[in-house]
Amino acid sequence: MKLDQLHQQDRSHNRRDLLKVGVLGMAGLALPELLRSEAAAATLSAHADNVILIQHYGAPSNIDTWDPKPNAPAGIRGEFQTIATSLPGYRVTEIMPRLSRWCHKLAQIRSMSHRIANHNPATYLSISGYTPARDVVQVGATSEDWPAYGSVLARFRAESQTVPPFVQIPHVAFDQVYKCPGQWGGILGKRYDPLIAVGDPNSPDTEQKNSASFEREDGASWGSGHGLEDAARTGGAARRAGQCAE
């Protein structure tokens, strides 16, 4: 699928939005009220210069961590006891005492669900937002994949010649011999692939490799190793954040 096809899909979404407005009108919400609500929401702008996305490629269940469901029947609730958090009325499992102190600063999304059984397709969904057509282990990456979130941001933000806009550490996610789709630019093109720094970005061996410049397949480059230096700083922050997760 090409970028112009994405634009065509955007226009189709707009048509669906108009249909939704008609349905909302039947429910008693007129178009002027809808527009006023959207205008009010637009004033609540948020801005972030950098984003760290920690992707768990296989992780503990939600009932063992963030959503233990202590009041549910025995076959549904988690096996651990729950503890209070810094957010009044919200409880997590007993295995996360330090994270429980930061819950007033977190936003948990409980509305997402899926029926995918394999790692690669599930990871593709979580890092691209696109539901794969096949749910099998042998789903590998191709140039026709939907792009990673970082690739989309790299496409629309101002480009830097010294710092790569999208860095992935510490390795490429894969299952068996199949590289997980959704980690690269995909249909946006290789120009928006991430700089992948393999290994621990805090180790001396990795830092020694920072002296070289890095060239993309389209000929552009990031000079003086700033890309991996930035990745090392990002990795340090990610490691410190990970130390909070017991």
Sequence spans of domains, the chain? 1-45, 139-246
pLDDT higher than 70, residue 76? yes
The confidence score (pLDDT) of residue 114 equals 85
| pLDDT tens string 182-219 | 999 999 999 899 988 777 767 776 654 443 445 454 55
**Beta-strand relationship, 91-93 and 82-84:** antiparallel
The answer to whether residue 45 scores a pLDDT higher than 80 is: no
Secondary element (H or E) of residue 196: strand 195-196
* Closest by Cα among 108, 81, 76, 109 to 93: 81
Q: Is 219 left (phi over 0), alpha (psi -120 to 50) or beta?
A: left
Angle at 174 between CA 188 and CA 117, to 5 degrees: 95
Rounded CA separation 148/143 (Å): 12
What pLDDT digit, counting tens, does each position of 86-142 carry? 999 999 999 999 999 999 999 888 888 888 889 899 889 988 988 888 899 888 899
d(CA 85, CA 102): 8
Tell me the pairing of strands 167-168 and 195-196: parallel
pTM for this model (two decimals): 0.62
Query: What residue has token string 């000929």?
Result: 219
- Over the stretch 231-246, which tens digit does the pLDDT of each residue have? 444 444 444 444 444 4
How far is 116 from 122, CA to CA, in rounded Å?
6
Question: 123: which residues sit within 8 A by CB, 6+ positions away?
Answer: 55, 57, 173, 180, 182
